[in-house]
Chain A
Amino acid sequence: MRSDDPSLKRLKPPKLTLFEQSYLPQILGGLFVTGRHIVNAAVGTGSLTMEYPEVQHQPSANYRGVHRLNKDEQGRVKCVACMLCATACPVHCIDIVGATAPESWTDREKYCQSFVIDELRCIYCGMCEEACPVDAIELTSFYDLTGLSREEMIFDKTKLLSVYDLTKTAEPMKSGIVAPESSHTNELYTTPTMGPVIERQQLV
């Protein structure tokens, strides 16, 4: 949009009185809020801090913490190594090595041989989760991630799959659709507006 676009609404800053120009009302207002918190915490129940780690923080449902790699109903990694997450990631912290799926996986063509995320470089934006066409990567509510070295914070496929095992009951897969048994894998990747998939979505 151009700066002289007629649909732009121009706002003028309000005129301040002499008293307001002294900034005293704002300072007093701020002190009042601080005072309210002090009194609340001292005599009331309005405490904003908690006794971590004795008391554990429960993040909200859409909190974006450590990643996990989901498994399909046969226990295989769901990821098809399309590298869309690595493409979407703004900080390039995902490294994937794709490979042709083993012969025995008759319904799969490609899978990830290696899948590594640098949890230190990650900015927890959730773009990878957004990009994944098969809901293989998700961000969990794990937030208290610690490690003694940088290497420890570079999560490989085994570690990311174990995060799934740890969190799968508490946090079921967000899409709610577990890969259905299908003779025709390709339906898995059709867009939701297309033929057979509509019916399946309505059933779920």
Chain B
Amino acid sequence: MATIIIDGQNYDLPEGAKFNAIQAARHFGIEIPYYCWHPALSVVANCRMCEIEVGSKDASGEIKMLPRLTPGCQTPVRDGTVLVTDSVKVLEHRKNIMELLLINHPLDCPVCDQAGECGLQDYSYSHGRAEHRFVEERNVKPRKEVSDLIVLNTDRCIMCTRCVRFTREITGTAELQVMRRGDHGEIAIFPDHPLDNPLAGNVVDLCPVGALLDKDFLHNQRVWFLSKHDTICTGCSTGCNISSEENAGKVWRHKPRHNPYVNDYWICDEGRYGYKSANAPDLLAGSYILDGGDHHGATSDRFFKRLNEDLTHRILDKQSVLAIFSPFLSVEEAFSAASWVKHLTNRNTMALGPVSVLGQDQTYSPDKLTGRSGDTSFLVPRPFTISAEKSPNKAGVSFVINHFQGSNVVSFEDALKLVPSNPIVIVFGGSPNSDWITPEQSAEIRKAERVILFDTTINVLADAADYVAGMATFAEKAGSYVNRDNRLQHFDAALPLRDGVWTLLDILAILRGVGRSPIESRTILAEAAEKILALAKAVGGQVPEFGLNLTGQDALIPDAGFQDDWTMASLAKA
């Protein structure tokens, strides 16, 4: 077992860990401040913030320290490594580095969007010095547009080159570079080659200061007003872990959350800006019944009563049901919905809603060499894929349908052909795009005697269906999705439910007559795990932080959970 000494204390390193000093110290709850190092990027050791005293203990027990300070990001830890992170020399050094980094800094925190989650602010407070001895004129660099979506405030940049390394090492597109040297150094793009790769937005999250900022979010909110909710992106079947950040009933931005098994530290721009449909002003705002060629708003009571009476009557007449399940439903919603359909009648067919596939999967596979500019011995390169399949839960919904139907899932195209033989069609929607169904498909479904739709957007089918009930959007519901790699992941609701609608879980509970209280997704998942073999691992509805691998065993990742944020709050949590 490898033992290291940090600040005079012995610690046992976890098996198989290849840590640098920062990772090792953080693993044991000790902070070594850093800027330029990033767990997924090569080590260049240019900010010097992480410098500590390093030494080693030899077999005889004698400790020899290196005479000068050494960057922690560049220091591998192995048996006998000695780290000193709290000596006067180290603390004084941090103060000097902070003063140096702030020499030309504008300190316009009041108008800077990074304020509140800024590495400079946090470290100034915890490691900096209150006065500033630089009296010469400041070097003011220009503000630049690096793409239609990202602005670069060069005056706030600390030249850590994280952004440059990201575009070279992860996306391989190399749009960013360092122009000129020393005090005149600036990050820049090549003329007419904007930073517009599909992962470009990640440089905003990477940038430890307010230099690279998202124009979509620019000057809209102060970050301390935002409540963060851990959720899953619904943009494609990769299922990136994101934080949905909301204030005053609106989602303002999506940020990636680290998950080494899914998205590492990144999300694509499509997912990043996918929050907008959660704020759409024209969502279905209640329940409606088609009467005399016109939709009339109905109170929930009346709606559920009429629907139940109508269905009971028809089922007694031995009419059969075709149920269509959108791949945007959560596992819990699909399970409840299928249970309800089964409860209505055994004469049913269950089909998957339309799954849109756009182009091809796009995979970024960084390795330890390509584009790397520094030491890569501490990093484990992980691929990132933007899936062509643009829905979050095709796999999960298919598991549920397979279970209830005992046979293969009927595709949407085949389902449309089955409409003539099924007088009742029930559609469980949930797609954030109102164009998930075409007018032709809607007309085909409308040929049924009764069309019942549960959905979020006002779409062509909502204009035609006999019963239309608004339900919670992807941002208003909690539950779990199964991604393309059969990983079950839990997501929380980001927004409160809008007025006049229910979550689909509540609607189904009312229709099945099993209570009216808010239904918790975990109880439904626990029930599903008991009944459905494919979901059996989700015992008790419990899903671990990084999700549940339903079909295999996860490889052990020693540094899993190293969130790249330097805020004191996150360290206090660790």
User: A interface vs B, CB < 8 Å?
Assistant: 80-84, 87, 98-100, 109-110, 133-134, 184-186, 189-191, 193-196
Contact = CB atoms under 8 A, between A and B. Distances in A.
Contact of B110 (A100, A133, A184, A196): A133
Nearest to A199: B135
Nearest to B136: A195
Nearest to B135: A195
5 contacts: A80-B111, A83-B222, A98-B220, A100-B219, A110-B219
Interface of B: 106-111, 115, 130-132, 134-135, 137-138, 140, 155, 218-220, 222, 224-225
A110 B219 CA distance: 7
Given A81-B219, A100-B218, A194 B132 contact: yes
B110 A191 contact: no
A193 B131 contact: yes
Nearest to B107: A190
Given A82-B111, A194-B132, 10 more contacts: A82-B110, A84-B110, A100-B218, A134-B110, A184-B140, A186-B140, A189-B106, A189-B107, A190-B107, A196-B135
Kindly list the 9 A-B residue pairs having the minimum CB-CB distance in the complex, ordered from nearest. A82-B110, A186-B106, A110-B111, A194-B132, A195-B135, A98-B219, A109-B111, A83-B222, A186-B108
A87 B222 contact: yes
Given A98-B219, A98-B220, A186-B106, A81 B140 contact: no
Contacts of B220: 98
A184 B138 contact: yes
Nearest to A189: B108
Contacts of A99: 219
A184 B104 CA distance: 12
Contacts, number: 55
Contacts of B137: 196
Given A81-B219, A83-B225, A98-B219, A109 B108 contact: yes
A193 B110 contact: no
Nearest to B143: A109
Given A193-B132, A194-B132, A195-B132, A80 B140 contact: no
B524 to A, nearest CB: 37
Contacts of A185: 108
A103 to B, nearest CB: 12
Contacts of B111: 80-82, 109-110, 189
Contacts of B224: 87
A80 B155 CA distance: 19
A112 to B, nearest CB: 10
Nearest to A185: B108
A83 B219 CA distance: 11
Contacts of B108: 109, 185-186, 189
A80 B110 contact: yes
A189 B220 CA distance: 20
Contacts of B131: 193-194
A81 B107 CA distance: 16
Contacts of A81: 111, 219
A186 B108 CA distance: 6
Nearest to A100: B219
A100 B138 CA distance: 24
A61 to B, nearest CB: 27
Contacts of A82: 109-111, 115, 222
A189 B109 contact: yes
Contacts of A109: 108, 111, 219
A134 B110 CA distance: 9
Interface centre among B115, B132, B155, B222 (most CB of A within 10 A): B222
Contacts of A195: 132, 134-135
Contacts of B135: 195-196
Contact of A193 (B130, B140, B222): B130
Interface centre among A87, A99, A109, A134 (most CB of B within 10 A): A109
Contacts of B140: 184, 186
A126 B130 CA distance: 26
Contacts of B130: 193
A186 B115 CA distance: 15
A81 B108 CA distance: 12
A57 B412 CA distance: 78
A123 to B, nearest CB: 21
Contacts of A84: 110
Contacts of B106: 186, 189
A191 B109 CA distance: 11
A124 to B, nearest CB: 23
